Amino acid sequence: MKNQIPWIVLLVFFTSFQWAAFTNAQHANSFPFGKKLAPNGVFIPDRNEAIGQTYSDNGVFKATYSIGNVTDENRELTGFTLSKEDQPVYGMDILPGADLLVSNSGMVAVFDMDLHFKQQVTVHLYDPAGSPVKSKTFSYASLFGFAPKGNTFVAGTDRTLMVMDLANNRSVNLGSCSQYAFSDDESWLITAREDKIWLYKGLELEAEINTALFYPRAVAVDPDLGLAIVVGKKELKAYQLSDHTLRYESCAPANASYRDVMVCGGLVYAGIHDRQDGVSKGIVRT
């Protein structure tokens, strides 16, 4: 079988442990949230995206485009079309940027990197019909993304995390971070940096928690489980939203490291990178 990789699933029920092994083919159907695990332990969309295609996370919207002139730090995107469920919605002859993101509601963010030598990126935001919503230039930005519902855009710089409500034209500046994640209903936001996580409810700071994980790699928050989760290189820690205490912690297997974390269907899925004898494979722990 082509690219067959062994996958290990650990089901944690807090009081007992159950093991199961899956082949790569079985794994392709094992996640209910439209993701698969890459060999480096990071969750990626469970679909084949061709060059010149960008999907929303929910797969409802698809952007297609052609790549024109390319330099070391930039490229030209032409012939853009946004489709919803394979039906064209609108198009542009030339996009004002070198890369793009598509949200679950059909919002599009286009990244203009012409001033990359000044550490600046200009983001052009468009609504689902193609009308311009906002353009903003960020300096020293390293985090960009949309919230799950698709109408909130996030940009993180060395000084702040800006949360932009595009539907109501409102913005909130939170503390800077290296990782962030919304709950599916966007009622909670978790951010992380160095040895701390911050929990926001309705974008109001609820708690600051010392984790002793100095290089957080991924975070997740789920109000149904009542948990906020953070992973470092070797440790996973889950904290209760109710009183912010540590609920449980777990260590990565020997010769492996945590890379990603997600929550779905009442389970916490942790992506682990295992590299032995020069070969990388992904392990998922739930």
> Which tokens is 157 given?
């710089």
For residue 282, the model assigns a pLDDT of: 76
Mean of the pLDDT values across residues 102-119?
95
Q: DSSP class of residue 118?
A: G
Task: Evaluate the CA torsion angle 266, 238, 269, 187 in order and state its sign.
Answer: positive
Q: Cα(175)–Cα(198) distance, rounded to whole angstroms?
A: 9
Identify the helix (H) or strand (E) that includes residue 25.
Answer: helix 24-27
**Is the pLDDT reported for residue 7 higher than 80?**
no
Q: Cα(31)–Cα(205) distance, rounded to whole angstroms?
A: 32
Backbone angles phi, psi at 25, to 5 degrees: -65, -40
Q: Give the model confidence (pLDDT) of 241-261 as tens digits.
A: 999 999 999 999 888 999 999
Helices (H), the chain: 24-27
> Which tokens is 7 given?
């996958």
Q: Whole-prediction pTM value?
A: 0.86
Question: Beta-carbon neighbour count of residue 73 at 10 Å?
Answer: 10
For residue 2, the model assigns a pLDDT of: 31
